[in-house]
Amino acid sequence: MFTGIIEAKVEVIERGNGILKISRPPIYKDLAYGQSIAINGACLTLARFDEDFLEFDVLDETFAKTNLGESKIANTERALKADGRFEGHVVQGHVDGVIKFLRKDGERHYFSKPEGFDQFFVYKGSISLNGVSLTIAEDLDDQFCVALIPHTLELSNLGDLEPEDGINFECDIFAKLLYKWQKK
């Protein structure tokens, strides 16, 4: 489980042929093979590493359903320790899909709303974009927006977005569970 509080923004060194290789964040001193690390919000298992890089085995389906095959800069977050501070919101690292960044208007950043997910986009509800825990500031028919503070823009790859860039999204798990429970 993750919290959506990004620890580092890193360069993607290599991707494809079943691997994703990123530069190693200096703060990642206590790594272990097999640990979970969210890369742009997608939970991956650490397969290989040294002092300069982290490498993950990635299935073709993961590349196809996320932006990991396209991103040049990635957000990273290690899994929450049981005795750690819980900030942000519950992020599973199970990306629901890729949406498009549309535009920004001051601190407000607008994104396309994915088809079939409208019920999970709620004003002031939680959303994870490229692994960043955010609050929906406006829910429109075919798009939504989040307000991004300078800290988030600086420490994540959301500050580098260009229109039409693909962004991983994960809807709030509690909203998904409530929706499923309500339908029964």
Domain spans in the chain, listed from the N-terminal domain onward: 8-78, 97-183
Whether 97-183 and 8-78 are alike in CATH topology: the answer is yes
Q: Specify the CATH architecture of the domain 8-78.
A: Beta Barrel (2.40)
Kindly report, residue by residue over 165-184, the tens digit of the pLDDT: 999 999 999 989 988 898 77
Token code pair at residue 146? 């989040």
Q: Which residues pair with 12 in a beta bridge?
A: 22
Cβ–Cβ under 8 Å, residues 57 and 18: yes
Residues 6+ apart with CB under 8 A from 55: 19, 20, 21, 22, 46, 47, 48, 49
What pTM was computed for the model?
Answer: 0.94
Kindly report, residue by residue over 123-175, the tens digit of the pLDDT: 999 999 999 999 999 999 999 999 999 999 999 999 999 999 999 999 999 98
Looking at the domain covering 97-183, what would its CATH class be?
Answer: mainly beta
